[in-house]
Structure formats: structure tokens, C-alpha cells
Structure 1
Amino acid sequence: MIIKRLDKLMAKSFAGPFVVTFAIAIFVLMMQVLWVYLDDIAGKGLGFFTVLELMAYKCVGLVPLALPLALLISSVMVLGGMAEHYELSSFKSAGTSLLRVMRPLILFGIISAGVSFACADYVIPAANLQFGARMYDIQQKKPTLSMEPGVFNDDFSQSSIRLGKRSENGRDIADILIYDHTKASTGDLGQIVAKTGEMYSENDGSFFVMKLYDGYQYSERKNTGKNRSSLPFVRTRFDSYTKVFDLSEFKLGKTNETLFRTNRSMLATWQLQEGVDSIDIDIAVRKQTISNHVVNYLPLARKDTTVYREKFAPQFESPDEDDAEARTRIEGDSTAATSSIKDIVDQPATSSQTQRQLPQVATRVNKTPSNIVRIENAPTTKPKNATKSKDEKRAEVTFRQTEAKRRSLENPLVQYGKDWPGVSSIMDSLEKTAFTRVINRARSAARSITSQAQSTQRILPGVRESRVKHIYDMHMKYSLSLVCIIFIFIGAPMGAIVRKGGFGYPILVSIIFFVIFIILTIFCRKLAESFVVNGAFAGWLPCIILFPVSLYITSRALKDAKLVSTDGITRLFSWAKGRVKKQEEPGDGAQVQ
């Protein structure tokens, strides 16, 4: 029964301050957000319910930050008030430990951690989606139309209006000047001047109408064409003229929400993980693309045929076809180049034309000699139970080497081959047109490879940064949930150590730790985006730093000790002071003698 009463007492004592501090934290964080979006909201003529809707969406997004702060402040207040009124000392004297007193608070922290994660993973993505869509509509909306006398109004995209006077009823106007720029692209400039008029809205505010009386309309055309002939300056007088303006651009529209679904703040953890996997595939595809682009200019190299997505899958023929033909289609230029070399080698080397081609053929053959010459070595099989002496084995190896050398020397490529003359000599042997064509193709290939590599080099850092941000945001959802429990083990022991209730000391102590947590969060985000640390480690680093701090503070509170003990420093000063006195005593005794 005593245990149940203690739990009820702690729950009642904690619930009130928690609700109040949570509301205060939401309000303070909301004011910070409103200052950011104040320029976008002010002067747009938004209704009360529209602003209230935006605030409601944003309040949901602030819950994971407000919960840890509320838990920290309320735990310091409750335990500090109990310690100040010696209630905590009474519990300890009755044999109840501090951890037993904190048990209802720890349960509150665990429940808050679950609520924080559920809100961050399910509710906040939908709320951020609605907030982002509505805020985009507000940013695109023009400010409320305002017609002040003596001031040019440029709210309309292609007109500038100035009113000389405006009556109290807001309808009658006088001394009107309108600059019309609807035909400015063709060089036509228009101007309307009227002595009196009236303005009003039509069709439920869809159109703004200005009915002008007793005025002139001027039109000046720009000289165009080859002759630059002058065009007449046109002046038209009117008794009544009506000009209609469309007010659709001043109304708040509604954008399709699906356009914002790919933003990181609007994704759940499983969607963020899918985004990371998709980004990894994008990086691999980009690397494969640049690799295969280089292979296009190297016929003997093989392309990377790894399939990452269906749309990148290469089309292969059925395996029932002839293997040689299928291999030819897959390998492409490399197989074609090899077969052409083999055809040249098989021809009799009798003509002078073949002898002129031999240096080029020999150069290619050195890369793939197994496709051109097959040296028939001695049979590798030997009868069973056959034994040979060392001399016989040595003689056999020598015979094989000699036979291989002889057959190699008899090959036409070796008999008619010459030393490699170099690329410059081959280029010099070409005609001028062929030489120019080869040079241009080489430059084009080098330029294409370089531009493709530079483009990939510019894009990949941004893609990798997006991947790190996805990983960081995913792990921050878990980190913000865990910090609710950590702040219970920081706030409750700090209240027992400080022994002050109310809002003064608890808020001061709580703000210090909360600001440290926010600074660590921002610092770790920058480290992750700079590729200094891993995104997952950066998301957990604030909890990793604060967890030992919470253990230290809890251990000090369990021992009823101060947060920072100065006994060691005091003993050090006392020891130093005693040493100084001992050194001064002999000198004083000598003076006495």
C-alpha cells in the first residue's frame, strides 16, 4: 500500500508540471518558427483559420523536441521541490532509494519515448506534408491589393497604377494614371490618364474593375524593321473607359500534395531506408554509365553488364541459338577485332600488301596471342606407373622449350615482323585527310570521356550528401526518442542535488542541458554532411555523449554527494600550505638563537 501511495504521489506531482512545461515548450518553439515564416505570412490577407491550420501542422512537428524539454524541466521541478521540503530525505530514511522514487518518472520517460517515435514516424510526415503544401501556396500568393493615394501600385504583373485622390467610400477616385506594359515585348508603350473614375470588384472578387471618365490613352510604338521608319504617336480621347484586372493571382490556391512527398522531412523510417537504397543504386548506375562510356572507345575491354534496375537490363538472345553467334553479339567490337586479326594471320604472307600490314597486326597480336597461335606441346598424359629420372625430366623440359621456340620463329608474324615503329610513324604513313579524320575522332573521344567524367564528378558529391542526410534523419528519429529517457536520469538527480523547486533553478538547469543537446545535434549534422563521420553515428552521438553524464549525475545523487566535489582541491591547498609553513619554521628558529 505504501508503494502504491508513493507511485500515486509521484504521478500526481509530475503530471501537472509536465503538462504546463510541455505547453510552454511548444509555445516557445512555435514562436521561433513563426519568426522564420513571418515574412511569408504577413500582408497576404490570410484568414484566422488558415493561420491556425498552419500552426497546428507545425505544432505536431515540434512534439519530439518539446517532449524531452518538458520531461527535463518537470523532473527537476518535482525532485527539487521534494528535496527542498525534506520529503526526499524522509523517503530515504524510510529505506526507499532514489531510483525507487524515480520509478514513475522513468515510466513516464519510456511512454514519452514511444509517443515521440510514433509521432515522428507516422504523424509528423503527414503533418509536414500538409504544412509544406500550404506554405508553398502562401508563398506563391501575392499580397493583398492596396490602392493608396499618391503611391504607385505594382501588384499587377503588367500594370502600374497611381491614384491622385480617393474618397472615403473607397469607390470614387480622381487623377488616375496607369502605365500599361502588356505589349512591352513588342516595343509598344501605353499610358492612360483620366480625371475621375471609380473602382470596384466583380464576380465575388474574381475581377478588379476600374471605370474611368474624361481621359486620354497614349500609345507609342517603337521603330522596327530595316528602314527604321517612324511610326505615329497615337492619342485617343475617351469619355468612358473600363479596364478589368484579373484577381486570381491574389487568391490562395491549393497545390497537389504529391509533389512534396519526396522531401526527407515527409518520410517515415522505412521510406528513408528505401531512399538510401535507391540512392546507392543511383550511385552504382552512374559509375556503371561512365565505365561503359569509356569502354565504348576501347574495343578489347568488356562492358559492365550488371543489372541494377529493369530499365537498365541489357537484352540478350535466347540460349538456344548458336554459341558463337551469341558470343559475337555480346562481346561486340572486341570479338570482331580479334576475328579480323585471325583472318589476316591465316592469309599467306606473299603479297607486299600483307607485308606492309604485318607491323600493325603484330602489335595487336601481342595483346591476345592465345587467339592467334596455338603451340602444340608434348602430350601431357603419361602411362600409369611410369617413372622418370631427373635427367630425363630435364631433357624433356629442354625439348619442349626448343620446340616452342622453333615453332614461334617459323610463324609468319615473327618472320616478317619488324620493331614497333611507334604511333607517330603510323600517323605519318596516313594521308592528310585520313590523318585529320583520326585526330578529330581522337579529340572528340577524349572530350566526350572528359566531359562525362566531370559531369559525374560534379553530381556524385550532392548525391552522397543526400544519402548522408537520409541516414541522419532516420537515426535522429530513434535518438530523439531515447533522449527522453536520458533526460529523466539527468533531471531527477539534478533536482535532488540542487534541492530547489519552482521555476527558477529548474528552468536554468534544464535549459543548460537542453542547449547542450541542441548544439550537439547541430554539430553532428554538420559533421555528417561534411563526410567527417558516418550519418548513423552522427545521429546517435548526442545520446552517446549525454548517457555517461546521466549515469554520473545519478550516481552522485544516490550517494547524496555534490555534483562536483571540491574536497580534493581543498586537501591539495591544505597540503601545499602546510609544506610552505614547514619550510619557513627553521628560518624563524635560527633568528631566535
Structure 2
Amino acid sequence: MKKIDKLILKSFIGPFLITFFVVVFILLTQYMLKYFDDFVGKDLGFSVFAELIGYFSINMTPIAFPLAVLLSSLMTFGNLGEHFELTAIKSAGISLVRVLRPLFVFVVFLSAFVYYSNNFIVPKANLEAYSLLYDIKQKKPSIDIKEGAFYGGIPGYSIKANKKYDDDESLGDLIIYNHSDKKGNTEIILADSALMYTILGDKYLVMELFDGKTYSEEDAKKPNKPANYTRNIFQHSKFVFSLASFEMERTDKELFSSNRLMKNEIELRNDVDSLKNDVVKSKRTIYRYTPRFFNMHMQEVEDIKPQTVVLWEELQKDTTKVKSDSADKKDEKLNNTDIESAKMVRNGSSKAKNKDSTNKEQIEPTPYNTITSYDSALVAKADSVYAKRNRGNNNLVDKPRFAKNRLKGENRRIDQREYYVRSYGLEANSKLSQAVACIVMFLIGAPLGAIIKKGGLGFPVIVSILFFIVSYVINTTGIKLGRAGDVNEIWAVWASNLILLPFGLFFLRQARNDSRLFETDYYAVKIAKVFKFFKREK
């Protein structure tokens, strides 16, 4: 490795590490503030917070890496340009592309690591983080007895202290209702003062009572007889309460493993395939199920069967011939049953029609598209006839109503599965797109820094935030449209990189030509030439 490569890498690594940790800290702070209310008053301890912050810090890395690459590359080449080091390198006959080569190789390896991290490290960290966050939410707040209010956090007891001293350990004018036996408030304890503290690693709460009375009521031995009443007077007494319900219990992590954030790309794509097969099976179920209700006019459902269902059935026949043969026999039996039932209905209707035609004239049916109102009496009469023929209490609308609810439920299930297909597909494609975003941000930041020639945390930070906001807005909008099904999953995830890549190539071309793209005097000269041109035309 040449000295020029060492110089460029040394100038880049330091700002990259600093900006990476700063970006992670900012994103982590913003993210953790959403759950601030779930942490207050639960006495979690430093170890729990450190574990949670560590896992969520890894969760922030897919966003932090591209932003850190953009900001650090801008700062590096801005500093080189500001101190005329970049000019000296070019004067030695070394092109800008050659200067960018060691950092480009570094960023390519960094993108490979980011892809590996997104695929294997981040899902495991998400599993640990969200399972721990769930347990924190379920944990009870620590004991906080407020003055003049009943506290029921300890199972089986209600405690009220009319006076609470500043040391948070001494209480005055205490009332304790003991209903741990689940028979009501059968025991009441009154005390003039109390001192409370925990023992055995905060597993038990000890409450020492002073100058009090205990009132208890025993169960009556015989029904309709008064119960025994007992009163005890004490000068000093101790009560020990178990704090097991206040401990944080860890939930089985496997319960959270089905979420898309806890899976790698291979698992996500397998889930997408399974969900797509499930959707096709549901569609096939609909088209097999429909003729049972609409057996008079939907015998040939093959004509309206979706192409995806047809292809799926052909694939099933090729892969599992034995199962498909048995399924075909079953379908043929069901279709024959439906056809026979349809023939019976048709024959019955034709016989009834011939019988009625001998008694009275045949009435032409009214086309359904000309009906604007319904005769309730006629419908009720038809319902009664239908009920007598079917020997039941069903009316004419029960069958279509049941069919509607069944088909609506299947369609709702299909919509839900298709939403999961899109969500899992977006998550799978984002694993690679977030890694490639590091390369795109480098192609924007490094040439832009060489053009601006300003280092530090001033102008480079503003430009970095601007491009990051543009990238974030495009990516967020694409994901929303992709989940809604308005945009293809690949375009939704890759739109940000595809839109920003031309900007990077444009800046690279301008930097190679030593463009003065961001210098005010450059534009002042251009504007002066325009005004001079119009004056000459006059």
C-alpha cells in the first residue's frame, strides 16, 4: 500500500468512527424517547438499561452506516481540499479517481459487512431487544405509596398512609386492608406509624408497625349465625410482603421469532413463498366453494378461475401426482353432486312450472335490472313457502347471506396474507439496498467534499442532513406505497439508491473537472455574462 493510500485511509477512518457513534447516539436517543413512559418508576437497574441500549444500538446501524459514510467522506475530502492537500496530490499527476480508490475499496468491504450485519446480527439483536422491551412493559412499577391515597400494588392488600415523611421510609396514620384470603376485607390493621424497608435482595418488603390495632372477623361456623369478631392491640408488629410480582420475568424469545424484523433474508423469502401459496390456496378454495351456493348458474367455475390458481393446480399435479389424483376424485365427486343437485332443482322447477301452467297463465319474469322496489308481503310469502319446502325456519336470504359472509372472510384473509407478502418482501429486499446505500452515499459525499473544500462540522453536516432527509423521505414513501401494493417491492426499496446515484456520478464528473459548483464568484461571473449578452442584443 502506497503512502497516499495510507494518508487517505487515515484521514477517513477517524471521522467515520466519530460520526458513526454520534449518529447512532442521536438515532438511539430519538427512538428510546418513544418508550420513556414504560421505563419510569420500575427500578430496572443499570444492567437492564445497558442491555437494552446495546441491542437497540445495533438496531440503528442499518441507518447509521450510510449517513456516517456520507458525512465522514464529505469531511475528509473537504479537509483535504481546504488545506490544499488535494491540490498538491493532483499537481503530482494523481487523478481524483485514483485518490478515491482506497476509500472506495474500503466502502465496498464495509457494504459487505453491513449486508452480513443486516442479515444475521441485526435480526438477533432485534429479537433480544423487543423481547426485553416487552418484559419491561409488563413489569410492575416499584412501590410508591402516596400520601392520602390507597395503594393496591401488593396482591391481596390495600394500604393507605395519611402521612408520608421525606425519607420515603416512614409513614404515619396507616390503614391496611387484608383481603389475601379472597373473602373480602375480613382483616383491618390500624397503626399510628410505620417503617418500611426491603430485605433479601429486594425480594421482600418489611413493614414495622407501631402502636396499632388489628380487627379481624372469622367465618361463621353455622349459616345465618353471627361471625366471631377479634380485636388485638399491639405496640410493635412486623408484616412481611412478598415482592415476587414486582420482579421482571423473561418471556420465551421464540414467541417473537415469527416477526419479520427477527428474520434474515432467506427466512423472509421462504415466508413470502409460503404466504403466496397460502393466498393461491385460499383463492382456489373460493372457486371450489362458490358453486355450492350458486349452483344454478355457476357450475362452470373454470371459466372464471384466476390464472394463478390454474398454474398452481398444474404445479401441484406435477409435483404431487398421488395427492392430486385423490383431490381430483374428490372434486369430481363434489362437482357431480352439485350437478345432480342442480338437475334436481331444475327438474323440480320445470315440473312445478308445467303444473302451474295447467291451472293459470304463465307470468313472464321481471328483469332484475328493472326492479326498483320490493313487496315485503310477497317476500314474506315466498319465505314461508321456502321454509315449508325445506322443513325449517330458514328464509330466502339465509343462504346468500351465509355465502356472502364466508366469501367476505376468505377475501379478508387473502388481503391480509397479501399485505404480509408485501411487508416481508420489502424487508428482504431492504437487507441489500441498505448495504448498497453506503456506496451511493460515498459517491455523493467524496466528490462533493472535493468540490466544496470545506471541512469540519459546519457546511458538510448541513449538506449531509439534506441528502439524508431526501433519502429517508424517498425510502419511507416507497415502503408505504409498497405495503399498500401501489408500487412493486423492488422499486419501493431501491428507489432511493436509483434516484441519488445520478447525483453522485454528476458530482464525481464535476470534481474530476475541478468544477467551482459551490463558489459564489463562479455564479456571479455567469450572471454577469448573461446580463452582458442581453445588453448587447438591445
1:557 counterpart = 2:511: yes
Given that 1:163 and 1:174 are in contact with CA atoms closer than 8 Å, whether structure 2 keeps it comes out as: yes
Shift of 1:202: 5.9
Which range moves more in the overlay, 442-451 or 35-44?
35-44
Q: Does 1:491 align with 2:445?
A: yes
Paired residue total: 496
TM-score for the superposition, normalised by structure 1: 0.72
Q: C-alpha distance in 1, partners of 2:77/2:191? A: 77
Tell whether the 8 Å contact from 2:293 to 2:400 is kept in structure 1 after alignment: no
Question: What CA distance in whole angstroms lies between the structure 2 residues aligned with 1:74 and 1:317?
Answer: 60
Alignment of 1:190-589 (within 5 A): 192-201=189-198, 204-210=201-207, 212=209, 214-215=212-213, 217=215, 237-239=231-233, 245-299=241-295, 301=299, 329-337=333-341, 359-360=350-351, 434-435=388-389, 437=391, 440=394, 442-563=396-517, 566=523, 569-579=527-537, 582=538
> 2:62 corresponds to which residue?
64
Q: Does the 8 A contact of 1:359 with 1:420 survive in 2?
A: no
Residue identity opposite 1:268 in structure 2: N
Residue of structure 2 aligned with 1:8, choices 6, 9, 19: 6
Distance in 2 (alpha carbons) for counterparts of 1:137 and 1:334: 54
Q: Which amino acid in 2 is paired with 1:557?
A: A
Letter aligned with residue 192 of structure 2? K
Contact 2:19 2:72 in 1 (8 A): yes
1:378-430 Cα distance to aligned partner (Å, 9 max, x none): xxxxxxxxxxxxxxxxxxxxxxxxxxxxxxxxxxxxxxxx9897699xx98x9
Q: TM-score, normalization: structure 2? A: 0.79
One-letter amino acid of the counterpart of residue 574, structure 1 = K
The offset of 1:41, in angstroms, is 2.0
Change (3 A) 1:232 1:291: farther
Q: Determine if contact 1:162/1:176 at 8 Å carries over to the other structure.
A: yes
Aligned partner of residue 145 in structure 1, secondary structure: coil
SS of equivalent residue, structure 2 residue 454: coil
Aligned match of 2:130 in 126, 132, 136? 132
8 A Cα contact 1:209 1:245, kept in partner: yes
> How much has 1:445 moved relative to structure 2?
1.1
Q: Which residue of the other structure, out of 84, 88, 91, is the alignment partner of 1:90?
A: 88
Look up the equivalent residue of 2:435 and give its one-letter code. S
Structure 2, unpaired ranges of 5+: 218-223, 303-308, 355-360, 367-377
Matched, 1:34 2:32: yes
Distance 1:113 1:361, change over 3 A: farther
Aligned 8 A contact 2:190 2:214 in 1: yes
What is the Cα deviation at residue 288 of structure 1? 2.8
Q: Aligned partners of 1:314 and 1:244: how far apart in 2?
A: 70
SS at match of 1:177: strand
Unaligned runs of 5+ in 1: 220-229, 345-356, 364-417, 583-593
Matches of 1:527 and 1:318, distance apart in 2: 42
The structure with the larger Rg is: 1
Q: Displacement of 1:508 after TM fit?
A: 2.2
After superposition, the Cα gap between the structure-2 partners of 1:286 and 1:314, relative to the gap in structure 1 and judged at 3 Å, is farther
Question: Distance between the aligned counterparts of 2:284 and 2:324, measured in 1?
Answer: 22
Counterparts of residues 95-114 of structure 1 (less than 5 Å): 95-114=93-112
Deviation digits for residues 120-155 of structure 1 (CA, Å, limit 9, x no counterpart): 001000111011111111110011112354454343
Distance 1:217 1:422, change over 3 A: farther
* SS of equivalent residue, structure 1 residue 195: strand
Whole-Å separation in 2 of the counterparts to 1:331 and 1:40: 58
Query: Does the aligned pair in 2 maintain the 1:202–1:208 contact within 8 Å?
Result: yes
Code of the residue aligned with 1:117 in structure 2: it is Y
Name the CA shift for 1:525/1:158 in 2 (closer, same or farther; >3 Å). Answer: farther
Q: Which amino acid aligns with 2:15?
A: P
Q: 1:243 to 1:448 in 2, by over 3 A?
A: farther
Q: Which amino acid aligns with 1:79?
A: F
Q: CA RMSD in A?
A: 4.2
Distance across 1 between alignment mates of 2:471 and 2:286:
43
Q: 1:341 deviation in Å?
A: 9.5
Alpha-carbon spacing, 1:314–1:96, altered in 2? closer, same or farther (3 Å): closer
Indicate the SS of the match to 2:490: helix
Q: How many Å separate the matches in 2 of 1:271 and 1:492?
A: 36
Q: Compared with structure 1, are the counterparts of its residues 161 and 568 closer, same or farther at alpha carbon in structure 2 (3 Å cutoff)?
A: same
Structure 1 296/459 Cα, relative in aligned 2: closer, same or farther at 3 Å?
Answer: same
Letter in 2 for 1:83: G
Alpha-carbon spacing, 1:328–1:419, altered in 2? closer, same or farther (3 Å): farther
Question: Which shifted more, 300-309 or 47-56?
Answer: 300-309
What is the one-letter code of the residue matched to 1:259?
Answer: L
Q: Distance in 2 between matches of 1:475 and 1:136?
A: 27
CA contact (8 A) 2:74 2:446 kept: yes
Deviation of 1:36 after TM superposition, in Å, equals: 2.1
Could you tell me the percent identity over the aligned residues? 29
Distance 1:264 1:130 in 2: 14
- Once the two structures are TM-superposed, the CA of residue 452 in structure 1 deviates from its matched residue by 1.6
In 2, distance between residues paired with 1:450 and 1:326?
Answer: 25
The verdict on how the C-alpha distance between 1:211 and 1:233 changes in structure 2, with shifts beyond 3 A counting, is farther
Sort the Cα spacing of 1:326 and 1:523 in 2 relative to 1 into closer, same or farther, 3 A: closer
Tell me: CA distance 1:125–1:215, structure 2 relative to 1, closer, same or farther (3 Å): same
